[in-house]
Amino acid sequence: MERTQARTGVAATPTLPMNAIWRTIRGYILWSYERGTIHYDIMVTLILIFVFLSPYWINFKDKPIERNPHPQVVIVLPDTQGGFLYQIEGTAITGKDDGAVRKQLTSIIEPIAGGAIAIQKYETVRDHSGRILNYRVWVERE
- The tally of CA atoms less than 13 A away on the side-chain side of residue 136 is 9
| Confidence (pLDDT) at 112 | 85
The answer as to whether 11 is a domain residue is: no
135/94 same-domain check: yes
- The chain-wide mean pLDDT, for the chain, equals 83
Residue 47 confidence class, pLDDT cut points 50, 70, 90 = very high
DSSP string for residues in 114-141:
TS-EEEEEEEEEE-TTS-EEEEEEEEEE
Question: Is 80 exceeded by the pLDDT of residue 70?
Answer: no
The answer as to whether 50 is a domain residue is: yes
The answer as to whether 62 is a domain residue is: no
39/93 same-domain check: no
The answer as to whether 68 is a domain residue is: no
In this prediction, residues 2-31 reach a mean pLDDT of 72
Counted domains in the chain: 2
97/129 same-domain check: yes
The answer as to whether 1 is a domain residue is: no
Q: Long-range pairs for 102-108 at CB < 8 Å and ≥24 separation?
A: 105/135, 105/137, 108/70, 108/72, 108/74
78 close to 103: Cβ distance less than 8 angstroms: no
**64 vs 21: which has the higher pLDDT:** 21
The answer as to whether 3 is a domain residue is: no
Q: Evaluate if pTM is beyond 0.85.
A: no
d(C-alpha 72, C-alpha 108), whole Å: 8
| Confidence (pLDDT) at 46 | 92
| Confidence (pLDDT) at 90 | 86
Question: Is 80 exceeded by the pLDDT of residue 48?
Answer: yes
Enclosing domain of residue 134: 74-141
